[in-house]
A and B are shown apart, each in its own frame.
Chain A
Amino acid sequence: MSRAVLLLAAALFVVLLAAVPAALLLDLPYLLFLFQQLAILATAAVGLNLVLGYAGLPAFGHAAFVGIGSYTVGILATELPGTLFTSAWVQLPLAAALAGLVAALIGAVSLRTRGVAFLMITLAFGQMLYFAAVALERYGGDDGMILVAPSRLGEQNLSRGVLSYTISVAVLAVALYVSFRLMRSPFGTVLRGAAANERRMQAVGVAVHRYRIGAFAASGALCGIAGVLLANHTAFISPATLAWTRSVELAVMVLLGGAGTLFGPLFGAAAFVLLEEVLSGVTEHWRIVFGPLLLLVVLAAPGGIAGLLGRQSND
């Protein structure tokens, strides 16, 4: 990994941490709100990167896994308020397991196809879950629902505030560490090898399919965790979280930052969130600038931000 990449990643974390005293001293709660959104989206992007970047599979429906995490929090808060099930210690693992399981199932079916067909079938499953969320009439249907009880953490909870913010940043750091370890492991080596040359990997005697399903599960679980944090962050859960455009946005973050690199998703999420913030401050029609900018990034810098900062080794 090039030095510039490491420096930028370290700088981003310093900024994320320094935001706490800055927001408190200067009385800028919005700063924490914005940066927490950044950290949560970056966590989901780190998850997506496992499939999209390392395994090289064009998955197109990951917003659904974020949605599963969010709806887990929302449904538990509505159905079992004041019980053990509104504790973050229960919700986080439960959401991760649920999203991971659904992701593994979807992966197992989708991986029977290749290329564009794979892209489309993951999209189809994403849409199915989207409409499933719309069908949850009891939980607001199309309109969504307000989160009545944020995830509890001891005496406090995960709604807005410094604790919630710190946890989101810590989760991002853990997600990055997991991604780092996974990709250094034999598991990651198989995934990357299969992305480079699937036939050769199979000739070596590796059951590539199983590893890819594993990558889907891990990726879905990380997205589910991000979904729990997101539901607490916005205190609102709706099918819009699962919309296909959200899946594209997540993919945009990964590619913008540099797919298949460790810190790429972090850079991409930061660039996406900050650009949106700055441009939308200038004009309400910011998308007219942002859209062509995306196209320009693809055309001029296919390796994303991490690619611009220097060629790296395999991670």
Chain B
Amino acid sequence: MTLFLEQALNGLQLGVLLFLLSAGLTLVFGIMGIVNLAHGSLYMLGAYFAVTFTGWTGSFLLGALAALLATVIVGIVLERVAIRGLYDRPHLEQVLGTFGLILFFNEGARLVFGPAGLSLAPPAWLSGQVTLLPGVVYPSYRLAVLVAGIAAAGGMYWLVARTRAGMLLRAAAANRNMAEALGVNSRLLFLAVFALGAGLSGLAGILAAPLLTVRVGMGEEVLLLAFVVVVIGGIGSIRGALVAALLIGVLDTLGRAYLPGALRFAFAGPVADAVGPALSSMLIYFAMAVVLVVRPRGLFPTSARTDVAA
């Protein structure tokens, strides 16, 4: 029971990180019609920046803030230099172009930060453990990630549902041409959306940095998870991204924790040990394929045009 609670919290925490990643991805997908493979690179950069700037300033909070700012700046430059040219191109060309960006960022990170993985210690005031229930302790940093992620999700909700900028965003997501015709400066809006997405992705990377080894290639691992989330949630839907992110986070974590054990009931030990991990890795892709077959437009379909365009 204790273990289950811990695993469930781990799942929620992965879900929150996935939400930060996929919220930006789904907006960029839904509003700008861009399949951006380089979204994971921004996550990687956020993590690298967090390690570097925390080292420079000696403070995790200052380092995180500087890293966030740096990632947003990279995002803005990226949109200006590269992404802008990819609007209204077929998705496959966008895949090709942004794959080029992945190569660039990965190799760049290897050059600047070195080939070895880096690690970041959580700040001292978050390095302990919290007793949640009698007998249930949980690392306080992981709890803080959960809280920070929920706060960021709340902030997103406020921005999108309650502000004027959010209104324009929703208008453009629903019907870009109509929004443009009504006088929305789409170039500026796109830039803002991309910068927001970069910031959220960077934030996910910053929050994740103390939890794992910061290294080249970490972006691609989460990128595929974020894509799964976006597609299951419905392209362009932030609410869908939230639901799907939590779903995938919990499914993936619990699957990894319990599927191999459950398999042991059905198969001989060695077979279960071999198949278990692979099957739990497959689980989320299987979930995505099922959702797509049953509901091709995801759980929360929007009218974003990307659903129809080839």
Contact = CB atoms under 8 A, between A and B. Distances in A.
Interface in A245-303: 245, 248, 251-252, 255-256, 259, 285-288, 290-295, 297-299, 302
Interface string B153-191: 000000000000000000000000000000000000000
B111 to A, nearest CB: 6
Contact of A114 (B103, B110, B289, B308): B308
B97 A294 contact: yes
A123 B307 contact: no
A127 interface: yes
A56 B29 CA distance: 20
Interface in A212-252: 244-245, 248, 251-252
Given A119-B91, A244-B224, A298-B93, A109 B107 contact: no
A311 to B, nearest CB: 18
Contacts of B116: none
Contacts of B227: 120, 123
Contact of A299 (B97, B110, B310): B97
B107 A285 contact: yes
B80 interface: no
A132 B281 CA distance: 9
B297 A56 contact: no
Interface residues of A, number: 48
Interface in B270-297: 270, 274-275, 277-279, 281-282, 285-286, 288-289, 292-293, 296-297
Interface stretch (A2-10, A134-142, A170-178, A201-209): A134-142
Nearest to A254: B92
B274 A114 contact: no
Given A114-B308, A114-B310, A124-B285, A251 B292 contact: no
Interface residues of B, number: 56
Given A109-B289, A117-B292, A285-B111, A295 B278 contact: no
A171 to B, nearest CB: 26
A185 B107 CA distance: 45
A116 B231 contact: yes
Contacts of A286: 107
B282 A116 contact: no
B297 A294 contact: no
A56 B96 contact: no
B106 interface: yes
A252 B96 contact: yes
A113 B292 contact: yes
* Majority-rule SS of B interface residues: helix
Given A116-B235, A119-B35, A292 B95 contact: no
A71 interface: no
B89 A298 contact: yes
Contacts of A112: 292-293, 296
Contact of B101 (A137, A256, A291): A291
B128 interface: no
Contacts of A290: 100, 103
Contacts of B92: 52, 58, 119, 251, 255, 259
Contact of B296 (A56, A57, A114, A255): A114
Contacts of B102: 291
A244 B285 CA distance: 13
Contact of A134 (B98, B281, B288): B281
Query: Most chain-B Cβ atoms within 10 A of its Cβ — which of A52, A135, A244?
Result: A135
A114 B292 CA distance: 10
Given A58-B95, A137-B274, A288-B108, A121 B292 contact: yes
A115 B308 contact: yes
A298 B86 contact: yes
B255 to A, nearest CB: 12
Given A115-B306, A115-B307, A135-B274, A291 B104 contact: yes
Nearest to B82: A295
Interface string B223-263: 01001100100010000000000000000000000000000
A112 B290 CA distance: 11
A57 B227 CA distance: 19
Contacts of A259: 92
A35 interface: no
A299 B88 CA distance: 12
Contacts of B82: 295, 299
A27 B167 CA distance: 69
Nearest to A121: B292
A295 B91 contact: no
Given A135-B278, A298-B97, 6 more contacts: A116-B306, A125-B285, A135-B279, A248-B95, A252-B99, A255-B96
Interface of B: 29, 35, 37, 82, 85-86, 89-108, 110-111, 220, 224, 227-228, 231, 235, 270, 274-275, 277-279, 281-282, 285-286, 288-289, 292-293, 296-298, 306-310
5 contacts: A115-B308, A117-B292, A248-B96, A251-B96, A252-B99
The 7 closest A-B pairs by CB, nearest first: A294-B100, A291-B103, A135-B278, A291-B104, A137-B274, A298-B97, A287-B107
Interface of A: 52, 56-58, 60, 109, 112-117, 119-121, 123-125, 127-128, 131-132, 134-135, 137, 141, 244-245, 248, 251-252, 255-256, 259, 285-288, 290-295, 297-299, 302
